[in-house]
Amino acid sequence: MPHVSPGDPRELAATTRAAFRAAYDIEPLVVGHAPGRVNLIGEHTDYNDGLCLPVALPHRTYVAAAPRDDDLVRISSLQVSEPWAGRLEDVRPGSVPGWAAYAVGVLWALAESGLPVPGMDALVDSTVPLGAGLSSSAALECATAMAALAILGEEASETRLRMLVGVCMRAESEVAGAPTGGMDQTVALLAEPDSALLIDFAAGSTRAVSLGPDAPHILVLDTGVSHSLNDGGYAARRRDCEEAARRLDLVTLRDATLADLDRLDDERLVRRARHVVTEIARVERTVTEIEGGEWERVGGVFVESHASMRDDFEISCPELDLAVDTALAAGALGARMTGGGFGGSAIALVPPDDRGRVATAVGEAFVAAGWTAPSTLIASPSGAAAVD
Ligand code: GLA
């Protein structure tokens, strides 16, 4: 079963520079880099003004860039074959196809925010698995934003980083057409090492939650089932939540209680809203248990969260359920699907000594079901985006 290594950030920044030189025959000015993420808990809560608790992965996306003296943008990637080139002034929602929309969309959104963004040449390398629900798109956005900010000669102050969260969200929802909620960009830009990031979308605040020296390993199991945030299921869940809030006369489901759900007469909306209300409470419980070092209890909350996503929010799939059930049977303290759903990855909390056993058991169960064994990685909590 393949294990995905994050690589060494210094080496990867250097090889990205070298690849840029080979592609464009000039020296890049900067390398911006940003992590993928895995969410510990708090799924589909961000766009409901709720709470979530992601960690930044050691796996990162690197963007080497140099400014141009015209408004041409050229961008290529070592992971995908189609490069993109075009004028910044021609970029608008829907005008950039495919992967490049996430990067070029950031330049567009920065310019929309009033910054004098020049044309640029850029080259991307990444160790964040694509389509695995680990936010390769936010990593690309945030790495591009960091490179562009440095090219503009701007300091990456906390205020600037918070502004970049909004810029990257605009790029994703308006240019790439994925109406996501902000968790991925927030953790990529504001994560702190060795910690998860508690994000409160109603308060607009973040707090690092240290995982402590005795934390189990966070084993990520990529089911290989393709996951895409702009093919309908994600937007449909978001619409259900907005409709439930509207019928309850609330701005968002953050303000809903379980008792409120009796006022909804649509069975599907009840289940969607119940997931959101209970999931927000589970984030709070998870933080309390992590801070008390009670990892077995964190595992129990993960199991409840998975059931809620499977039964109430209906975003799991047979591969995610098998990964979760097998990991638990093989000794994981807890397991759940993570991210937007409909495929992507599951996570399992595993004592370091049990890591191999759990990964092997899940791989064998997949093969027995006639599927390819998941690829795995360890989500050691890493730091935020930076420039090199
Ligand atoms: C995707 C989105 C996030 C969030 C999660 C579900 O990762 O990009 O904004 O909504 O799904 O928690």
As for ligand 1, residues whose beta carbon falls within 6 Å of it are 39, 43-44, 46-47, 180-184, 229, 339-340
Per-residue pLDDT reduced to its tens digit, 59-116: 999 999 999 999 999 999 999 989 999 999 999 998 999 999 999 999 999 999 999 9
**Atom 5 (ligand 1) nearest CA:** 340
Q: Whose CA is closest to 78, among 1, 141, 20, 165?
A: 20
Contact status, residue 146 vs residue 386, Cβ threshold 8 Å: yes
111 HSE (CA, 13 A, CB side): 16
pLDDT band at 228 (very low <50, low <70, confident <90, very high): low
For ligand 1, the distance from its centroid to the CA atom of residue 43, given in whole angstroms, is 7
For ligand 1, the distance from its centroid to the CA atom of residue 135, given in whole angstroms, is 9
In the chain, the DSSP E strands lie at: 30-39, 51-52, 54-67, 72-77, 84-87, 120-126, 195-200, 205-210, 217-222, 334-337, 345-350, 375-378, 386-387
Per-residue pLDDT reduced to its tens digit, 291-305: 999 999 999 999 999
Q: How much is the mean pLDDT over the chain?
A: 96
Structure tokens at 126: 């990444």
Ligand 1 probe mutation, 38, 43, 45, 46, most atoms within 8 A of CB: 46
Active site residues: 184
Structure tokens at 165: 């969260």
Which residues have CB under 8 Å from 194's CB, separation 6+? Answer: 210, 211, 381
DSSP 49: T
For ligand 1, the distance from its centroid to the CA atom of residue 119, given in whole angstroms, is 30
Ligand 1 atom showing the smallest separation from residue 181 Cα: 9
Which residues have CB under 8 Å from 357's CB, separation 6+? Answer: 330, 331
Full-model pTM:
0.97
Angle CA(95)–CA(153)–CA(182) in degrees, nearest 5?
50
Distance CA 42, CA 298 (A): 13
Ligand 1 probe mutation, 38, 165, 180, most atoms within 8 A of CB: 180
